[in-house]
Amino acid sequence: MVIVTHDSAAALPRTLAALASELRSGDELIICDNASADGTAELARELAPNAVIVESGVNLGFAAGSNLAAERATRELLLLLNTDNVVAPGFRDGIELPLLEGRGWAAWQGLVTSDGGSILNTLGNVVHFTGVSWAGGAGRARSEAPSEPRDVAFASGACLAIRRDAWAELGGFSAPYFLYHEDTDLGLRLRLAGHRSGIEPRALCDHDYEFAKGAHKWRYLERNRWATVIRTYPGPLLRLVAPALIATEVALWLVAVKGGWWREKARASLELVRWLPRLLRERREIQADARIDAGGFARACLTPDLDSEYLGAASHSTPLRSVLRAYWRAVLRLL
């Protein structure tokens, strides 16, 4: 089990206390501390004396921190858990079931709730064909959660179980992402490599989730959204959705100006330009190893509906939904 921390002293006691009764003899708990200034590493040693504490010395972000911690793992199944995600009794048994039952998934997640279990945080994350990604089912009533395991487009990094051989095959997260979209990118690369992902509702955990974390979040979201599209979308799909990507870019610039985060949008664009040579090299490598075609990828991974509560008016616009669905039907016919 891997946990990445950064100034996490307030959240860590609840998380580690819940884990203490779940972990079995032989289970690994690896904590990567990203240069915390609030005594997180020392607290982790006190609360989890058997854990492996990796101190990075700098703030690597969630992606690179997870990669660093995962290098120390030796078990067949790797579990990534957010610092503020508290597991429920029985989580340990539940999260291992897909592996023991041989469901054929390379990665999966537990049922992640929030607000003390009253609402859903994610039922598996969702990717729009413009690259916008969100926690599927976020904000809905707990009663809407599935009672049985099922496939999802990709599993959330808040509670991500992945076979260690699949993690090694793909090289883990893309470290330069730092924060956000790293799970989207990994999930789409898993699909390209011919793997499946799912959700195991018997592994329950509650995430202290907050979407609004300051304007700086938009820098990572926008930069990494584009990086994911460039790296993972097969060529025929990328060409067909290019007009929608351009239209989305214009719309998001207008939203950024109106919302006061245009500076973060500009930083994201400049960083993306600097990243482009590397992203194109990585794209060639990823696409060369793809085991499904563009049509299969599009149908398995992407949606035309903007149905997240975090997307504001766009998620409630019937005319926009009709246009997006029509556009997507045309794309799928051409693939």
Read off the pLDDT of residues 74-83 as tens digits, 9 standing for 90 and up: 999 999 999 9
Q: Does one domain contain both 54 and 126?
A: yes
Query: How many domains are contained in the chain?
Result: 2
What separation in angstroms does the CA of 323 have from each of 159, 238, 255, 307, 333?
34, 19, 20, 14, 16
Tokens of 160: 């991500």
Q: Does one domain contain both 147 and 232?
A: no
Full residue range of the structural domain in which residue 94 is found: 2-207
Q: Does one domain contain both 163 and 31?
A: yes
Q: Does one domain contain both 136 and 262?
A: no
pLDDT reported for residue 261: 94
Q: Does one domain contain both 21 and 136?
A: yes
pLDDT reported for residue 290: 97
pLDDT reported for residue 164: 96
Q: Does one domain contain both 202 and 246?
A: no
Calpha distance 15→332 (Å, rounded)? 43
Q: Does one domain contain both 229 and 114?
A: no
Residue 213 has pLDDT above 70, yes or no: no
Q: Does one domain contain both 129 and 252?
A: no
Calpha distance 215→316 (Å, rounded)? 24
- Among residues 224, 223, 170, the alpha carbon closest in space to that of 192 is found at 170
pLDDT in tens, 289-315: 999 999 999 999 999 999 877 777 777
What separation in angstroms does the CA of 269 have from each of 218, 220, 227, 232, 280?
11, 10, 11, 19, 16
pLDDT in tens, 276-285: 999 999 999 9
Calpha distance 182→41 (Å, rounded)? 24
Distant-in-sequence, close-in-space partners of 296: CB < 8 Å, separation ≥ 6:
none
Helix (H) and strand (E) counts for the chain?
11, 13
Q: Does one domain contain both 68 and 99?
A: yes
CB-count burial class (<10 Å; 0-12, 13-18, 19+) for 322: exposed
Q: Does one domain contain both 192 and 230?
A: no
Q: Does one domain contain both 220 and 203?
A: no
pLDDT in tens, 102-145: 999 999 999 999 999 999 999 999 999 999 999 998 989 999 99
187's enclosing H/E stretch is helix 182-192
Q: Does one domain contain both 44 and 151?
A: yes
CATH number reported for the structural domain that contains residue 101 in this entry = 3.90.550.60
